[in-house]
Structure 1
Amino acid sequence: MKKNEKLNKWLWKWHFIAGLISLPFILLLSITGGIYLFKTDYETPRQQHIKEVVVQGTPISLQEQWQMANNSTPKKPSAVVLSNRANQATEFVSGRFSGKSSVFINPYSGEVSGTIVTKKTDMFKVRKLHGELLMGKLGTKIIELIASWMVVLILTGLYVWWPGRGWKLKGFFIPRINEGKRTFYRDLHAITGFWMSGLLILILAGGFPWTDVFGENFKQIQKITNTGYPVTWEGRQLQSAISGESLTLDEMASKAKALDLPGIVTLHLPKGPKGVFSVSNENPSDLQSQKKIHFDQYSGEIITANDWKDVGVLMRGRMWVMAFHQGEFGLWNWWLMLIVAIGLTAMSISALISYLLRKRNGIWGVPKVPSAFRVGYGIITTIVILSIVFPLFGISIVIILCIEYVRKLNKKRRITLSTS
């Protein structure tokens, strides 16, 4: 591919400006993302005294445990995680996502072994720092804007990196170590970015579903195209036929265990006398094994069952990239995300060092663009497409254009005043 040198300078200018503004946020994202990968390692020893108990004879019934859990928490539990080990405390759950709260019951003594409130955990704070800068909705939008510009940084960086005068091993695929510090750090930034570009795009795709604007638009597209979860997945419209006594938790748990579902199996309790029991399994390492099955709370018969093939293609893709983003596909995925987090940190720091080594006192050192350069239709089309896909990026472009227009007007006014 023959490069347009004027276009290369223009893209380099905007890669430079966007990178300089985004760099502190990108560093924060890479560091907090790397820390969050150690969530299980960090929380397991700290929560062990709550989640694990001493085996002492025969466990009491699940129904009795639920009563004890219900009496010990202000919010009535809506689900129970089915234990698969004898030394495991029974987890009763209320709320979802950031509002999730769990109370753990010792199945032998009936005592509360402890509670875990998601919002109060250290790793929840790390996740909130990673996703919203601990600033709520405003922080989420800032992170979404930075992530949108990261896509632009990757695309412009690839073009600027692309060799214009033939391919060479040093300087394009491995850093030059004998040509000074500035060259070394420039190469370290550019080459690391090249090798990680595809992965970074995939990781960003896994983060965008959590954002406010893009995420909400994506949900609307899923709804319009009917490519999300089937309407029966949550079971809100399903009803049990009232007849006699409802099944006990122990009876329903036996039916759930008979399904032999992999991963973490949760039994969701009926909401009211017409509600249904629902059984689901969380198994991020094998998404295709996930199911959601709804039972009549009186007869115990299956009303409807959904598995992965019933989930729409956009939701399946969304769940895949989100699981990949969090390193949930096994050890290889975890290590890959950790390497990317370290690589992104090194790439950002090397870019900063390279900039400081080339920067002169008193000036920002923004790359110059030939005054004769005009943006072509291809670039304009690309910007428009990116603005539609990433609305916050589009808004930032409009703001930049307005600032540029005002700056040029002021420049013309100064010239006019100086010549009059």
Structure 2
Amino acid sequence: MKKNEKLNKWLWKWHFIAGLISLPFIILLSITGGIYLFKSDYETPRQQHIKEVVVQGAPISLQEQWQIANSNAIKKPNSVVLTTKANQATQFVSGRFGGKSSLYVNPYNGNVSGEIISRNTDMFKIRKLHGELLMGKYGTKIVELIASWMVVLILTGLYIWWPARQWSAKGFFIPRIKEGKRIFFRDAHAITGFWISGLLILILAGGFPWTDVFGSNFKELQKITNTGFPKTWEGRHLQSQPKEEPLTLDQMVAKAQALQLSGIVTLHFPKGPKGVFSVSNLNPSNLNTQKKIHFDQYSGKQILSNAWDDVGVLMRGRMWVMAFHQGEFGAWNWWLMLITAIALTTMSISGLISYILRKRKGSWGVPKVPAAFKVGYGIIVTIIVLGFIFPLFGISLIILFIFDYIKLLRKKRSIALTD
């Protein structure tokens, strides 16, 4: 591919500016993302005394355990997680996402072994730092802006790195050592970036659904195209036919167990006398096995069943990239995410060192672009498309162009005054 040298310099200028602003945030995101991968390793030993109990005799009924949970939980539980081992405490869940808390009941003596409130855990704080810089909605938008610019940094970086003349297989793998520190760190930045560029795009795709602006637009697109979860998935419009007595929790759990669903199986409680019991399973390693099944709370009759095939294509794609982003497809996925996090940190730090070694005193060291260069229509269209897909990127780019234009006008004015 023959490169346009003037375009190369123009792209390098914007790659340089965006990188300079973004690098500190990218380093933080890559480090916190890598740490969060160890969530299970960190929390399992610290929560073991709550989640595991000593097996002693026959367990008390789940209905009785439910009453104990209702009396002791901060908020009344809305679901119970089905246990798979005799030494597991029964987990009653209240709330969702950041407001989730889990109360654990010893099934043998009815004692509450403990309650885990998600927002109070160390890993929840790491996740909040990773997703919103501990700054709430403002932080989420900053992270979204940085992620949007990362897409641009990847695309421009690939073009800038692409050899203009001769190819060298060695140049794809090994930084130049004998040409000085700056060249070494620049090569380390470029080579690492080249090898992880495709993975980074995929990982970013898995992070964008959590964002405010892009995420909201994507959800709206799912609604318009009817490619999200089916309306029946949550069972909000389904009703039980009231009779004298509803099923006990033990009876309903027996029905849920008979389904033999894979992964973590949860039984959701009815909302009111006309509500329904719902059974769902979380199995990120094999999304195709996930189901949501609804039952009449009085007769126990199955009202409706939704399988993964009923979920729209955009939602299925979204869930896949989100699971990949979190390394949930097994050991290979986990190691791939960890290696990518380390590589991204290395790439960012080497880029920063290269800039410090290149920078002269009294100057930001921004690459100069020939005055006669004009951006082609293809680039303009690409920028507009990216601006629509990533609105915060589009807004930030307009602001940067305004500053650049004002700087150019001042330079012309100062030249005119000296003449």
TM-score grouping bracket, smaller chain normalisation: over 0.9
Match of 1:307 in 2: 307
TM-score (norm 1): 0.98
Q: Conserved in 2, the CA contact under 8 Å of 1:59 and 1:107? A: yes
Q: Conserved in 2, the CA contact under 8 Å of 1:207 and 1:322? A: yes
Greater alpha carbon shift after TM alignment, 170-179 vs 366-375: 170-179
Q: Is 1:113 the counterpart of 2:119 in the alignment?
A: no
Match of 2:127 in 1: 127
Cα deviation, 1:46-77, whole Å, max 9, x if unaligned, reads 00000000001000000000000100123111
CA distance in 2 between counterparts of 1:74 and 1:376 reads 60
Cα deviation, 1:157-206, whole Å, max 9, x if unaligned, reads 00001010021123343222232222211111101000000000000000
Describe how 1:104-183 pairs up with structure 2 within 5 A.
104-183=104-183
Match of 2:31 in 1: 31
CA distance in 1 between counterparts of 2:416 and 2:160 reads 37
Describe how 1:68-83 pairs up with structure 2 within 5 A.
68-83=68-83
CA distance in 1 between counterparts of 2:160 and 2:395 reads 25
> 2:204 is aligned with what amino acid?
L
Describe how 1:7-46 pairs up with structure 2 within 5 A.
7-46=7-46
> 2:418 is aligned with what amino acid?
S
- Corresponding pairs, count: 419
Greater alpha carbon shift after TM alignment, 407-416 vs 162-171: 407-416
CA distance in 1 between counterparts of 2:173 and 2:38 reads 31
Secondary structure, in 3 states, of the residue corresponding to 1:340? Answer: helix
Cα deviation, 1:112-161, whole Å, max 9, x if unaligned, reads 00000000000000000000000000000000000000000000000001
Match of 1:323 in 2: 323
Describe how 1:44-123 pairs up with structure 2 within 5 A.
44-123=44-123
Greater alpha carbon shift after TM alignment, 398-407 vs 189-198: 398-407
Q: Conserved in 2, the CA contact under 8 Å of 1:170 and 1:176? A: no
> 1:326 is aligned with what amino acid?
Q
Secondary structure, in 3 states, of the residue corresponding to 1:368? Answer: coil
Q: Conserved in 2, the CA contact under 8 Å of 1:36 and 1:127? A: yes
Secondary structure, in 3 states, of the residue corresponding to 1:7? Answer: helix
Query: CA-atom RMSD, angstroms?
Result: 0.9
Describe how 1:264-413 pairs up with structure 2 within 5 A.
264-413=264-413
User: Cα offset for 1:339?
Assistant: 0.1
CA distance in 1 between counterparts of 2:226 and 2:247 reads 34
User: Cα offset for 1:364?
Assistant: 1.3
Secondary structure, in 3 states, of the residue corresponding to 2:265? Answer: strand
Match of 1:232 in 2: 232
CA distance in 2 between counterparts of 1:331 and 1:17 reads 37
CA distance in 1 between counterparts of 2:357 and 2:416 reads 38
User: Cα offset for 1:357?
Assistant: 1.4
User: Cα offset for 1:324?
Assistant: 0.1
Match of 1:220 in 2: 220
> 1:245 is aligned with what amino acid?
E
Match of 2:244 in 1: 244
User: Cα offset for 1:404?
Assistant: 1.9
> 1:150 is aligned with what amino acid?
M
> 1:88 is aligned with what amino acid?
Q
Match of 1:261 in 2: 261
> 2:14 is aligned with what amino acid?
W
**Amino-acid identity (%):** 77
CA distance in 2 between counterparts of 1:235 and 1:125 reads 32
Q: Conserved in 2, the CA contact under 8 Å of 1:93 and 1:101? A: yes
CA distance in 2 between counterparts of 1:248 and 1:122 reads 37
Secondary structure, in 3 states, of the residue corresponding to 1:170? Answer: helix
Greater alpha carbon shift after TM alignment, 174-183 vs 222-231: 174-183
Greater alpha carbon shift after TM alignment, 309-318 vs 365-374: 365-374
- The gaps in structure 2 that reach 5 residues or longer are none
User: Cα offset for 1:96?
Assistant: 0.3
User: Cα offset for 1:412?
Assistant: 3.1
TM-score (norm 2): 0.99
Match of 2:198 in 1: 198
- The gaps in structure 1 that reach 5 residues or longer are none
Secondary structure, in 3 states, of the residue corresponding to 1:171? Answer: helix
CA distance in 2 between counterparts of 1:47 and 1:359 reads 49
> 2:373 is aligned with what amino acid?
F
Secondary structure, in 3 states, of the residue corresponding to 2:9? Answer: helix
User: Cα offset for 1:308?
Assistant: 0.4
Q: Is 1:209 the counterpart of 2:209 in the alignment?
A: yes
Cα deviation, 1:71-104, whole Å, max 9, x if unaligned, reads 0123111100011100000000110000001100
CA distance in 1 between counterparts of 2:374 and 2:417 reads 27
CA distance in 2 between counterparts of 1:332 and 1:417 reads 64
CA distance in 2 between counterparts of 1:389 and 1:190 reads 26
CA distance in 1 between counterparts of 2:10 and 2:70 reads 64
CA distance in 1 between counterparts of 2:172 and 2:156 reads 16
User: Cα offset for 1:284?
Assistant: 0.5
Q: Conserved in 2, the CA contact under 8 Å of 1:172 and 1:187? A: no
